Amino acid sequence: MRTPLVAANWKMNGSREFAEHFFADLDLEGVTSDVVVCPPFPYLPLVAQVAKDKGSIWVGGQNMSQEPVGAFTGEVSASMLLDWNARYVIVGHSERRSLYAETNELVAKKFVAAQLAGLIPILCVGETLEEREEGRTLEVVTAQIAAISDLIDTNAWKDAVVAYEPIWAIGTGKTATPEEAQSVHQFIRAQLGNIGAEVQILYGGSVKSANAGALFAQADIDGALVGGASLDAKEFAAICHAAI
Ligand code: 13P
């Protein structure tokens, strides 16, 4: 069946010193889920080295360009992530969508470029508070998924991860209840067609050790994409331990 996955999204936090301490403190002994750490780009080599030495984590990028190479100042390509043994890359995080104007169409191009290069995209989807209050959650998520489905063969979902991150729950301390999250996860799985049963669908938005167990107990929640709590090695390890 589906292996649980816990992903750390450090966002634009940390430093070289922080990263070194983080891994010294990170005790994943006994963890059975897959674990991926997505640091800011400059710390990819450091995380890649830890992944090589410890063997218990995967490396991921937080974003990538849809273009393979060329005059795109400030961008990072899929092959550059692969140079540091990345296995995953987050695409379409809500902060990229809202702060950097990434559209469903652009995110779909990044998703395809990631898969073409051999990376596993972690596609983020989710609604704003306003959209939820207007009862438009499923409509928004459907459009975000459909933009990808339009470009890929249905089977390609097997080599992807979806993260449902309600925007109103990100960094706010408010989490969707396990039941609220489960109902959207179940809906997303159905959107992925026959292959849906094999796709890891993560929940993201104020996940911490105190709420992880109840979220992971839901049938269609296969792990978490963790922001703030992934900056604390003990807290992050506790979330990883809860994913069974
Ligand atoms: P928080 O866990 O800080 O709410 O962030 C969630 C997130 O955006 C992970 O990608």
134-167 pLDDT tens trace: 999 999 999 999 999 999 999 999 999 999 999 9
123 CA distance to ligand 1 middle (Å): 14
Q: Residue 11, Cβ neighbours under 10 Å: how many?
A: 19
Does any ligand 1 atom lie closer than 6 A to the CB of residue 126? no
Active site annotation includes 241: no
DSSP-assigned letter for residue 202: E
User: What Cα–Cα distance (Å) separates residue 130 from each residue in 64, 126, 147?
Assistant: 28, 12, 22
Does any ligand 1 atom lie closer than 6 A to the CB of residue 211? no
Q: What 3-state class would DSSP assign to 33?
A: coil
pLDDT computed for residue 174 by the predictor: 84
Indicate the class that CATH gives domain 5-242.
Answer: alpha beta
Active site annotation includes 131: no
**Does residue 1 carry a pLDDT above 90?**
no
**Does residue 48 carry a pLDDT above 90?**
yes
Residue 206 alpha carbon, nearest atom of ligand 1: 4
- For residues 39-52, one letter each, b for 16 or more C-beta atoms within 10 angstroms of the residue's C-beta and e for the rest, the string is bbeebbebbbebbe
167 CA distance to ligand 1 middle (Å): 9
pLDDT computed for residue 57 by the predictor: 97
pLDDT computed for residue 115 by the predictor: 98
User: Which of 146, 190, 9, 198 has the alpha carbon at shortest distance from 91?
Assistant: 9
Q: How far is CA 57 from the centre of its chain?
A: 14
Contact 192, 159 (CB under 8 A): no
Catalytic member of 102, 131, 165, 235: 165
**Does residue 58 carry a pLDDT above 90?**
yes
Mean pLDDT, range 93-108, rounded to an integer: 98
151 CA distance to ligand 1 middle (Å): 27
CA dihedral (60, 43, 236, 227) positive or negative? negative
- Boundaries of every domain in the chain: 5-242
**Does residue 73 carry a pLDDT above 90?**
yes
pTM of the model: 0.98
Does any ligand 1 atom lie closer than 6 A to the CB of residue 171? yes
Q: Predicted confidence band at 176 (pLDDT cuts at 50, 70, 90)? A: confident
pLDDT computed for residue 63 by the predictor: 98
pLDDT computed for residue 39 by the predictor: 98
